[in-house]
Amino acid sequence: MNSLLLTAVEQGLVFSILAIGVFITYKILDFADLSVEGTFPFGAFIFARFITLGLSPILSTLLSFLLGTLAGLITYTLNIKLKIKALLSGILTMTLLYSINLRINGKSNVGLFNYSSIFDNMEEIVVLIIIVAIVKILMDLFLKTEVGYLLIATGDNETLVKSLGENCNKYKLIGLMLSNGLVALSGALMAQFQGFADITMGTSIIVVALASIIIGDTVFRNSRKLRGTTRAIIGAVTYKLIGAVAIDLGLEPTDLKAISALIVIVFLSYNTFSPDLKIKKQKKEGAL
């Protein structure tokens, strides 16, 4: 494989975990959680901190996931307990995390080339495929459990969840913590993949995540069998490949942000304006 394309697929796999994380809040809970812009570098800096302290790469990566869930706890507390609107809660968490991220290692950029990483013993692509597969399988299994279904139902219809005797807030907390944990895990993987953690690595990362989810939804919109996690993974890899092609065509890396935004705009408007015969057909069959 062309090295540019290989790198794009590898980065896409790293971002697919981010996309699965955002999928939980954006698609399942219908909660626009912007805190991930802070959580992604948070995961990277936590990893940097623990690896420089001498912990193993696997343990440091797992700790990034665990501590990342706390970002979800902060957003939950702001939104549910302090009744601040969802969007603003996420922005506030993101802003809090900006300063916290700078405190973790005392600087805005930490080089990791001299430290070990989870990619040391195997090809990067193999390691990433294994990690993404584990995350995807666990996530799919979780969504088939009683708690998983209540998470979906909470995003769908809170009245129903209450009528089942359950407290919706519990499921919002689970969703937000899991989502932010996965985003931090993705940040930790990115830090190891690129060899440094940087304070700017979270900037407009939410657009990358949304782009991945929207691409996955659009390309396979008629396949009802495909799970949301699979769509997120395919979407993230496709997104990165589109970026790679753009650079190959002579665009500057600095143009990529605008391209991300354009991708989201194009795919969203395609979803809105294209006639979708298959879904209409299903509706007809179901409605008798």
Q: Interface with other proteins by CB under 8 A: which residues?
A: 142, 144-150, 152-153, 156-157, 159-167, 282-283, 285-288
CB closer to other proteins out of 162 and 257: 162
Residue 286 Cβ vs other proteins, minimum distance, rounded to whole Å: 3
Please give the Cα distance from 174 to 127 (Å, whole number). Answer: 27
What the block records as the tokens of 71 is 């970002």
As measured in angstroms, the least distance from the Cβ of 285 to other proteins is 8
* Rounded least distance, CB 22 to other proteins, Å: 18
Cα–Cα distance measured from residue 212 to residue 222, given in angstroms and rounded to the nearest whole number: 17
Sign, CA dihedral 173-215-218-266, equals positive
Cβ 156 to other proteins shortest distance, Å: 4
Which C-beta is closer to other proteins: that of 85 or that of 283?
283
Task: State which residue, 150 or 197, has the beta carbon closest to other proteins.
Answer: 150
Q: Shortest gap between Cβ of 148 and other proteins (angstroms)?
A: 7
> What's the min distance (Å) between Cβ of 168 and other proteins?
8
Contact in structure between 261 and 237 (CB atoms under 8 Å): no
Buried/exposed code over 24-34 (b: 16+ C-beta within 10 A; e: otherwise)? bbbbbbebebb
d(CA 169, CA 37): 23
Nearer Cβ to other proteins (121/282): 282
Phi, psi of 149, rounded to the nearest 5 degrees:
-65, -35
Angle at 123 between CA 120 and CA 125, to 5 degrees: 120
Residue 115 or 170 having the CB closest to other proteins? 170
CB of 11 to other proteins, least distance (A): 31
For the CB of residue 144, give the shortest distance to other proteins in the complex, in Å.
6
- Nearer to other proteins among residue 167 and residue 271 (C-beta): 167
Query: How many whole angstroms separate alpha carbon 202 and alpha carbon 97?
Result: 11
Under 8 Å between Cβ of 43 and 198: no
Q: Measured between alpha carbons, how far is 260 from 193 in angstroms, rounded to an integer?
A: 21
Name every residue whose Cβ is closer than 8 Å to that of residue 25 and which is 6 or more positions away in sequence. Answer: 31, 32, 33, 175, 176, 179
Q: Which is nearer to other proteins, 252 or 285 (CB)?
A: 285
Closer to other proteins by Cβ: residue 99 or 163: 163
Joined together, the tokens standing for residue 54 give 């001498």
Burial class from Cβ neighbours inside 10 Å (0-12, 13-18, 19+) for residue 224 reads exposed
